[in-house]
């Protein structure tokens, strides 16, 4: 009986810990939005531009479901009792904490919430390693299309073909070496990165109006460069949501082929799009059912 009481108290503590981290994350996210908003001249945007920005935020928020699905797939490899609805709820509520300094609080919040739900702590820690490894592998593959920045003579369609082939072969390899859950997670992460990179290009096209450009924006390599920059922010310790790191890498990769003022503005607007999308995903996660 005492053991049962102890477990209940631990679960209660873990739930509170997860909630406090989530509340702290909301405060930090709000401050970031305020900070970015002060650097943007909003008067230059028309109503149609705001519609594109809002729609991009919604699409990015929906794309986060792919991340939650990927994490759920990883958990299913080790714990068959986990449901995708529960995984989405835990992932969605905890992921806002990535904006807090340290770049680890999303994992701490997820760990606390999931352990309160009865999932083994060691399994959860192991799932983080799998998640980061698969995300890094997916992101690195998109470096294939960035090759055209340094070797512009290579046609885009050829690089896209090799990217698709690489994703397919890696997916088959992961399914053979591990199981379909790991392969499904890898494909989900690859799809998320493709969507996020494409949305950044949409924002760049939007803000480039009014800036002189040398030529048409190279959609495919810029998309790949954004994903590589995202990956750099992901693996950098201490950088909340990769703030600063991604921008530096992106400026280095495409600063020579895209008008720099437009690129900087796109980075600021892109940050607002991702933060708003993350907030939408966070809010929607409260309406997802619990563990089955």
pLDDT, mean of each 10-residue run, the chain (292 residues): 46 47 47 51 74 94 94 87 83 78 70 76 85 93 89 87 95 94 96 95 81 62 89 66 66 75 80 89 74 43
- Alpha-carbon Rg for the chain, nearest whole angstrom, is 20
Residue 192 confidence (pLDDT): 96
∠ Cα 122 125 130 (to 5°): 120
Residue 209 confidence (pLDDT): 67
Residue 35 confidence (pLDDT): 54
Does residue 292 lie within any of the structural domains? no
| Residue found under tokens 């102890």 | 6
Residue 172 confidence (pLDDT): 96
Does residue 291 lie within any of the structural domains? no
- Angstrom distance (rounded) from CA 148 to CA 254: 11
* 151 torsion bin: left (phi>0), alpha (psi -120 to 50), beta (else): beta
Going by C-alpha positions, the residue among 141, 131, 148 that lies closest to residue 219 is 148
Does residue 126 lie within any of the structural domains? yes
Does residue 112 lie within any of the structural domains? yes
Q: What is the pTM of this model?
A: 0.80
Residue 7 confidence (pLDDT): 47
Does residue 259 lie within any of the structural domains? yes
Does residue 281 lie within any of the structural domains? yes
Residue 214 confidence (pLDDT): 46
- Angstrom distance (rounded) from CA 81 to CA 60: 29
Does residue 290 lie within any of the structural domains? no
Residue 131: give the domain boundaries: 2-285
Asked if residue 70 lies in contact with residue 137, where contact means CB atoms within 8 angstroms, the answer is: no
Going by C-alpha positions, the residue among 289, 231, 239 that lies closest to residue 89 is 289
What's the number of domains the chain is made of? 1
């Amino acid at each position: 009986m005492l053991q049962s009481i102890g477990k209940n108290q631990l679960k209660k503590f873990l739930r509170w810990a997860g909630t406090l981290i989530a509340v702290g994350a909301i405060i930090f996210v709000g401050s970031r939005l305020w900070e970015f908003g002060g650097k943007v001249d909003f008067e230059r945007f028309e109503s149609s531009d705001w519609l594109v920005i809002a729609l991009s935020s919604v699409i990015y928020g929906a794309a986060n479901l792919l991340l939650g699905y990927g994490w759920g797939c990883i958990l299913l490899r080790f714990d068959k009792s986990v449901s995708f609805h529960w995984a989405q709820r835990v992932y969605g509520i905890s992921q806002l904490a990535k904006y807090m300094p340290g770049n680890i609080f999303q994992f701490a919040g997820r760990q606390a919430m999931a352990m309160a739900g009865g999932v083994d702590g060691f399994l959860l820690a192991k799932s983080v390693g799998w998640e980061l490894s698969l995300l890094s592998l997916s992101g690195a593959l998109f470096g294939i299309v960035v090759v055209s920045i340094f070797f512009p003579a290579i046609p885009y369609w050829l690089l896209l073909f090799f990217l698709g082939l690489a994703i397919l072969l890696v997916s088959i390899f992961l399914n053979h070496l591990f199981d379909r859950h790991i392969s499904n997670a890898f494909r989900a992460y690859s799809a998320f990165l493709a969507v996020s990179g494409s949305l950044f290009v949409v924002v760049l096209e939007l803000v480039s109006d009014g800036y002189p450009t040398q030529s048409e924006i190279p959609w495919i390599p810029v998309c790949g460069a954004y994903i590589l920059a995202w990956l750099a922010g992901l693996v950098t310790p201490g950088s909340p949501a990769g703030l600063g790191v991604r921008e530096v890498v992106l400026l280095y990769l495409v600063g020579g082929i895209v008008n720099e003022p437009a690129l900087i503005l796109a980075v600021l607007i892109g940050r607002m799009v991702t933060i708003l999308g993350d907030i939408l995903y966070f809010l929607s996660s409260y309406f997802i059912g619990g563990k089955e």
